[in-house]
Amino acid sequence: MGGWALGISGAIVAVAAVAWATRGLLRCLSVLRQIERGLSSLGQGRPIRPTRTRAPGPVGRLARTFDAVAPELQERIGRLSRDVEQLRVVLGGMAEGVIAIDSRRRLLFANTSADQLFGLGPQAVGRLLPELIRSPQIQEAVDATLAGPETYRGEIVLPSREIIPRQMSRVLAVHGALLPGPTPAGAVLVFHDVTELRRLERMRQDFVANVSHELKTPLASIKAYTETLLDWALHDENVNVRFLNRIEEQADRLNQLILDLLSLARLESGHEVFQHGPLAVSAVVETCIETHRGRAEAKELDLRLDLGPVGESTLIVADEEAVHQILDNLIDNAIKYTPERGWISVACRLTDDAVELDVADSGIGIPRDDLPRVFERFYRVDKARSREMGGTGLGLSIVKHLIQSIGGQITVESRVGEGTRFTVQLPRYKPG
């Protein structure tokens, strides 16, 4: 009987011990679950609820440590995510394309500009760069960057077929640097589109070369005639006046060139001050026609004016001197490039918003391929002919700038051997 009772009490003690141990274990588990929930909140940027447990033992200590460091941890993670977001916004707003790759050339990041430049698309992260951008030159830049340790600097010309979507070819300045890490963790490459910059540089170089050439030609003539006069021709009445006339012509040409260059420079820099205001256009057109009548008659050209619906009260918004210069240049060209006994017509039309002026001629015309370029500085279909006529190759670019400053438009149509028509639209004055 005594042994039986002992057995029962032993079993009760054992059950109580197991129950006590189980309760402790469940408490530990609950604390651990609270910590796990806290960590997952931390990961998702949600506020953490402290465990506030007083449980004893290692789990209790872990929970209290967690409670102590959690606010600091939360603050740091918050700051880190804000920094990452800021960085993303800054990189996203950059005009330069930025891509980051790992050491195996997998794309880690590409900003919006890089996306647009290379047409990367939303699924690009994680894919191999050579699959995304099929450009041997970019791969060379990547190789050179990954070979390190110096930063890579280079300039590449991407043909249009290597750019998606296919636009015109682009010139890119590339900067590549290794991403820091024990072994290079990858590289970051920055692509700066310098296409426009290089185009402007080329234009500037061409311009300087053109100006030097244009100045040198008349100067060389003046020098040659002067030397000949000094050598032997000064007192030879058969040639001396002719040579002096040539010198005067070339000096006039130089003068015209310098005036045109100054005028163009002022227009391009925006320093030309115009007084655009209400202007009776018919009076200006009539004055211009009369200025050129003598030259037209000398070539037996029929110079006609048709004012059409444009009367004395038709007003445009423009500076009088600017409109003079536009018409002078166009009529002067028409006279220059129309053979004798041809015709030149200046005709006016009205639209709701503009006065349209046609300056047409029955001259030599402009080949189709040259038409889009005639407004460029120094562009001439036939250089020798233009020079012979006293042209500088700057007239139409001055015209274009003047019209732009007025807020108008100019277009040209032409057929070789039949004639040319320039149409100018100038904004009408609308009172009130």
Positions in the binding site for ligand ADP (CB under 6 A): 329, 333-334, 337, 361, 363-366, 374, 379-382, 386, 391-396, 420
What does the buried/exposed string (b/e) look like for 381-412 if buried means 16 or more CB atoms within 10 Å of the residue's CB? Answer: beeeebbeeebbbbbbbbbbbbbebbebebeb
Q: Measured from the CB of residue 374, what is the shortest distance to ligand ADP in angstroms?
A: 4
Choice between 106 and 383, CB closer to ligand ADP: 383
Q: Measured from the CB of residue 358, what is the shortest distance to ligand ADP in angstroms?
A: 12
**CA distances (Å), origin 182, targets 56, 105, 147, 178, 186:** 42, 17, 15, 11, 11
Choice between 145 and 386, CB closer to ligand ADP: 386
Choice between 38 and 419, CB closer to ligand ADP: 419
Choice between 176 and 395, CB closer to ligand ADP: 395
Choice between 292 and 380, CB closer to ligand ADP: 380
Counting other chains too, the contacts that 124-132 makes at CB distance below 8 Å and 24 or more residues apart are: 128/104, 129/99, 129/101, 129/105, 130/105, 132/107
Q: Measured from the CB of residue 274, what is the shortest distance to ligand ADP in angstroms?
A: 20
Residue type, 276: H
Q: Measured from the CB of residue 398, what is the shortest distance to ligand ADP in angstroms?
A: 8
Are 408 and 425 spatial neighbours (Cβ–Cβ below 8 Å)? yes
Q: Measured from the CB of residue 395, what is the shortest distance to ligand ADP in angstroms?
A: 3
Q: Nearest to residue 315, comparing CAs of 355, 349, 275, 286?
A: 355
Our measurement of the distance from residue 204's CA atom to the centroid of its chain's CA atoms, rounded to an integer in Å, reads 17
Q: Measured from the CB of residue 394, what is the shortest distance to ligand ADP in angstroms?
A: 6
Choice between 33 and 293, CB closer to ligand ADP: 293
Choice between 114 and 364, CB closer to ligand ADP: 364
CA distance linking residue 260 with residue 138, whole number of Å: 45
248: Cβ–Cβ under 8 A, 6 or more apart, which residues? Answer: none
Dihedral sign computed on CA atoms, order 260, 266, 269, 275: negative
Choice between 207 and 243, CB closer to ligand ADP: 207
**CA distances (Å), origin 287, targets 280, 323, 324, 328:** 12, 11, 9, 10
Residue type, 202: R
CA distance linking residue 425 with residue 147, whole number of Å: 59
Are 357 and 314 spatial neighbours (Cβ–Cβ below 8 Å)? no
Q: Measured from the CB of residue 391, what is the shortest distance to ligand ADP in angstroms?
A: 3
Q: Measured from the CB of residue 332, what is the shortest distance to ligand ADP in angstroms?
A: 8
270: Cβ–Cβ under 8 A, 6 or more apart, which residues? Answer: none
Dihedral sign computed on CA atoms, order 327, 332, 337, 339: positive
Q: Measured from the CB of residue 402, what is the shortest distance to ligand ADP in angstroms?
A: 12
177: β partners? 188
Length of the chain: 432
Choice between 322 and 334, CB closer to ligand ADP: 334
Choice between 218 and 393, CB closer to ligand ADP: 393
Choice between 186 and 363, CB closer to ligand ADP: 363
318: Cβ–Cβ under 8 A, 6 or more apart, which residues? Answer: 274, 276, 277, 279, 281, 406, 408, 426, 427
DSSP state of 428: B
Q: Measured from the CB of residue 427, what is the shortest distance to ligand ADP in angstroms?
A: 23
Q: Measured from the CB of residue 287, what is the shortest distance to ligand ADP in angstroms?
A: 20
